[in-house]
Structure 1
Amino acid sequence: MKKYDLAIIGAGPSGYAAAMRAVDFRKKTLLVEKQTLGGAGITNGALSSKTWWELSRDMLAFRRNLSRYGMQSPATIWKEIQQEVNLAVKERIHLLQHHLDCLRDSPTYSQYLDYQTGTAEIVDENTIKITNDEETDVVHAEYIVIASGSRPRTLPHLPIDEEHILSSDTIEHMTDFPKSLVIVGAGVVGCEYATIFSGFGQTKVFLIDKGDSILPFEDADVVAVIEKNLEEQGVHIHRNSTLTKMEIVNGKVMYELALSDGRTETFEVEKALVSVGRVPNYEKIWSDAVPIKMNLRGIEDHDTNTSIKNIFAIGDITADINLVNVGELEGRYAVEKIFSHPTKKLVYENISTIMFLNPEVAGVGLNEKMAKEKGYNYKAVTVDYTTIPRAIAKRNTQGFIKLLVTNDDEMKVLGMRVVGEQASSAIQAVALLISMNKGIEELAECVHPHPSITEGIQESVRALLGKSILKSGLLNNKVNCYCYDCERGEIESF
């Protein structure tokens, strides 16, 4: 029986990151993956869907500018787009595999990492059985990390056949653009696919939202921009609608909605995408002899520790945030807890996120909804993209920056949202301030490149400090500062 210091079940983003951190500590590590190296972070997930989004955005920009060149809109060829996405996926998988091969052949690292393909089961606290088509292997591990990921959630009344009614695992495997598509679920993934398919301009998209607005966790001003653009691209948003029936009839998808006024309506589309969240892959990962505690969302963990002292859980298998960067963070942190002492506590307050919509939305920390729920008194500033020279030069001034700070002399950063072109590039400096529990003074005098979107962040900070170039409240509130009092529930401009 082979013996390892650490065995990791799952080679997605979190498991792969954990394995590489264990190599740093020169620990004998086994990484096991039953499907594809890189997991859903690459295939049918983050990388693939974002490649679709990039290509869709290019097509949308091209179609919007056709009049400049006296051209008619060309047809997008599904197979060509699909081939480009598949190429991106293969490139990333090849990179990771080549990296593993280099480690295996390296005189420095070869003794520290083994990679195995197969299905792993934790037999007891230190024993793992690995099964593949050819053989079964049993290994001993002092520590175990579970990083088995997640899969799309299904609903019992929806007949997902992965041909007509699809999940996010198969939506990208269609053979052509559907003429019409209904998306069940108006969260991030549902809105991203609505953005993708409407951007290509060959699919009539319907989006079912049980509330009165999409993205219910986001602030109203953010949602308003996204909804406006989706509808301008022809997306029909079924607001305040409950899906009561969905079935496949004569090769089409029929669905029935119960509306808030008591009426029901029936629609017919070519395809449906069910996007109602994800569930953890924990089935058959461990035997009954291993009493790992579970809750409704996944493995019950505390800073990656499970109820078994030498078994850890990271990534989508836990109840934390299901993001690639969070999974990687947890993977590295778990290994540091096992073999060392982390210099910093695992925190989620400074996690940067990006929603691939039209326009893109980047965020870190709290938005206004969250700040109010937590009872913060805060100051906020919004700076419109029309005031940012780089946005003007790009001929794309839709969007804004919103920065929240504590309403005191320290003005510590609570959070930021950026809606607009290059939003993701503007977020990291503020994320660093949040992680350092710092105020905003450092950003005020930082010299940003010109022209750049990040100059808008500098102007936001200067506005909060009362020394902006463009003064708050003028220019139809394109720069606007205000404060919120949680006791009175009032907003006041300053």
Structure 2
Amino acid sequence: MKHYDLVIIGAGPSGYAAAMRAIDLKKKTLLIEKSTLGGAGITNGALSSKTLWELSRDMLAFRKNLDRYHLEPPKAVWKEIQVEVQNAVQERVHLLDSHLQELQNNPKYATYIDFIEGEASIISEHLVEIETLDERLAFETDYIIIATGSRPRFLPNIPIDEKYILTSDGIEQMEDFPESMVIVGAGVIGCEYATIFSGFGQTKVYLIDKGDSILPFEDADVVAVIEKNLEAQGVHIHRNSSLSRMERENGKVRYTLNFSDGHQETFEVDKALVSVGRVPNYEKIWKEAVPIKMGKRGVEDHDTNTSVKNIYAVGDITADINLVNVGELEGRYAVEKIYGSPKRKLVYENISTIMFLNPEVAGVGYNEKTAQAKGLNYKVVTTDYSTIARAVAKRNTQGFIKLLVTDDDEMQILGMRVVGEQASAAIQAVALLISMEKGIEELAECVHPHPSITEGIQESVRALLGKSILKSGLLKDKVNCYCYDCNKKERVMF
């Protein structure tokens, strides 16, 4: 029976990254995937939905600028949009596949990597079986990494058929833009799809929100910008509502909502998108004799270790943050932990995130809600995009930068949110400083290119240090600094 140093089950972002790190360490590795290389990081997930977002954003920007050219707004063709998304997915899958083939054909790497398409099952702590289209195989291994990802969550009272009532797995298979669509769930994914379809301008979008505001984990000032733009694009937000019933009827979707004030209403739309989170793919991955413990949200792991000493879990199958960049980080970290000591601890406080909304929202570390939940005193500066020359030049000054630091002389960075154009490009320097547990002096004195969005971060830092060009509080809602006292639960401007 063939023996491997490491078997990795799942070739999505975390599994693929783990395999490449194992090759670096010259470990004989078997990578197994039952469907498509790249997993939900590419297909029916991160890449495909973000390609949709980019195309939608282009269409929205084009429609907004038509007046100056005295042109009628065009209509997007769904079939062409589908083709563009499929091309993006195929390009990425082809890249990974070609890379894997080159590794297997290269004498420098071929010894260390094998790839098999098939469905894997962990029979015991050191034995993995694989069922392919033609045969059943078995391999011994020293270590196993489970990286089987996740899938959309289903709700028992909603008859999802991926034709009328869809999840993200079925959204790209539609035949045309629906005239109307309801989205169940006002979290990140639900709001992203509301942004996408309202941006194309051919679908009336309804968004069901059980609270009084979308994105309940974000600060009110961030949410206010996103809600304003969604509603300006025609999105109707069903606030303070819960879904009582949803069914298919005569080629339509009927849904009934119970509102917090006691009244009930029924609506009819062409399509429904259920976006209520994801669940881990763990079924049939290991036999009952393998004592891997499961928690409420996924495999129980401690620093990527499962309850079985030589078996590790990374990516969406765990209860950690379900993001591509986090999955890749965990995959690489697990390999380094198996074969030595990682140079850096696995921490999540400096993970950069981006929400593909209108405008985009990038974040790292704490926002005010999480800082207050931790009982922290902090200082905040908010700098409006209208003060940033690059935003003015782009003729799009909607947005702001919000930076949190500790309320002491060190002013260690706690977190940042950037809402606006090129938000994701502005976040990484702060993420690095958070991981290094540094203060803000380095940002204040760094010479930024002009004009750039990052100049707004520099001005924010200078405002906290009392040496900004635009002084805090003098220009209404442009640059403002305040302290938050957790004990008194109050803000004090400075």
Q: How high is the TM-score relative to the length of structure 1?
A: 1.00
Q: Distance in 2 between matches of 1:343 and 1:90?
A: 35
Secondary structure of the residue aligned to 1:298 is coil
The alignment status of 1:21 with 2:15, answered yes or no, reads no
1:326 alignment counterpart: 326
Q: Distance in 2 between matches of 1:188 and 1:477?
A: 27
Q: Distance in 2 between matches of 1:115 and 1:274?
A: 34
**Structure 2: which 5+ residue stretches go unaligned?**
none
2:184 alignment counterpart: 184
Q: Deviations over 1:428-486 (max 9, x none)?
A: 00000000000000000100000000000000000000000000001113100000000
2:222 alignment counterpart: 222
Q: Distance in 2 between matches of 1:132 and 1:211?
A: 47
The one-letter amino acid of 1:365's match is G
> How far is the alpha carbon of 1:20 from its aligned partner?
0.1
Secondary structure of the residue aligned to 1:477 is coil
The alignment status of 1:285 with 2:312, answered yes or no, reads no
Secondary structure of the residue aligned to 2:197 is helix
Q: Distance in 2 between matches of 1:356 and 1:75?
A: 22
**Structure 1: which 5+ residue stretches go unaligned?**
none
Q: Deviations over 1:57-95 (max 9, x none)?
A: 000000000011110011110011110110000000000
The alignment status of 1:2 with 2:23, answered yes or no, reads no
Aligned residue runs from structure 1 range 39-438, under 5 A: 39-438=39-438
The one-letter amino acid of 2:61's match is A
> How far is the alpha carbon of 1:260 from its aligned partner?
1.1
Q: Distance in 1 between matches of 2:6 and 2:246?
A: 46
Q: Deviations over 1:343-385 (max 9, x none)?
A: 1110000000000000000000000000000000000000000
> How far is the alpha carbon of 1:261 from its aligned partner?
1.1
Q: Distance in 2 between matches of 1:156 and 1:263?
A: 24
Q: Deviations over 1:292-341 (max 9, x none)?
A: 01110110000000000000000000000000000000000000001111
Q: Distance in 1 between matches of 2:312 and 2:420?
A: 39
**CA RMSD after TM alignment:** 0.4
Secondary structure of the residue aligned to 2:476 is helix
Secondary structure of the residue aligned to 2:266 is strand
Q: Distance in 2 between matches of 1:318 and 1:422?
A: 31
The one-letter amino acid of 1:333's match is Y
The one-letter amino acid of 1:146's match is I
Q: Distance in 2 between matches of 1:203 and 1:465?
A: 47
Secondary structure of the residue aligned to 1:36 is coil
Q: Distance in 2 between matches of 1:16 and 1:404?
A: 35
Q: Distance in 1 between matches of 2:365 and 2:379?
A: 14
The alignment status of 1:450 with 2:437, answered yes or no, reads no
Q: Distance in 2 between matches of 1:205 and 1:91?
A: 31
Secondary structure of the residue aligned to 2:154 is coil
Q: Percent identity?
A: 76
Secondary structure of the residue aligned to 1:221 is helix
The one-letter amino acid of 1:358's match is N
Secondary structure of the residue aligned to 1:130 is strand
Q: Deviations over 1:262-289 (max 9, x none)?
A: 1100000000000000000000000011
Secondary structure of the residue aligned to 1:161 is coil
Q: Distance in 2 between matches of 1:329 and 1:191?
A: 26
2:482 alignment counterpart: 482
> How far is the alpha carbon of 1:214 from its aligned partner?
0.2
Secondary structure of the residue aligned to 1:186 is coil
Q: Deviations over 1:388-436 (max 9, x none)?
A: 0000000000000000000000000000000000000000000000000
Q: Distance in 2 between matches of 1:333 and 1:477?
A: 43
> How far is the alpha carbon of 1:132 from its aligned partner?
1.5
Q: Distance in 2 between matches of 1:152 and 1:233?
A: 27
Q: Distance in 1 between matches of 2:369 and 2:115?
A: 44
> How far is the alpha carbon of 1:2 from its aligned partner?
1.1
The one-letter amino acid of 1:300's match is E
The one-letter amino acid of 1:75's match is K
Q: Distance in 2 between matches of 1:417 and 1:436?
A: 18
Q: How high is the TM-score relative to the length of structure 2?
A: 1.00
Q: Distance in 1 between matches of 2:480 and 2:221?
A: 13
Q: Distance in 1 between matches of 2:124 and 2:91?
A: 37
Q: Distance in 1 between matches of 2:477 and 2:277?
A: 37
Count of residues in correspondence between the two structures? 494
Q: Distance in 2 between matches of 1:78 and 1:447?
A: 45
Q: Distance in 2 between matches of 1:131 and 1:474?
A: 69
The one-letter amino acid of 1:355's match is M
Q: Distance in 2 between matches of 1:221 and 1:490?
A: 17
The one-letter amino acid of 2:370's match is M
1:36 alignment counterpart: 36
Q: Distance in 2 between matches of 1:169 and 1:482?
A: 44
After TM superposition, which residue ranges in structure 1, 4 or more long, deviate above 6 angstroms?
A: none
Q: Distance in 2 between matches of 1:75 and 1:471?
A: 46
Q: Distance in 1 between matches of 2:189 and 2:338?
A: 34
Secondary structure of the residue aligned to 2:144 is strand
Q: Distance in 1 between matches of 2:133 and 2:5?
A: 26
The one-letter amino acid of 1:35's match is S
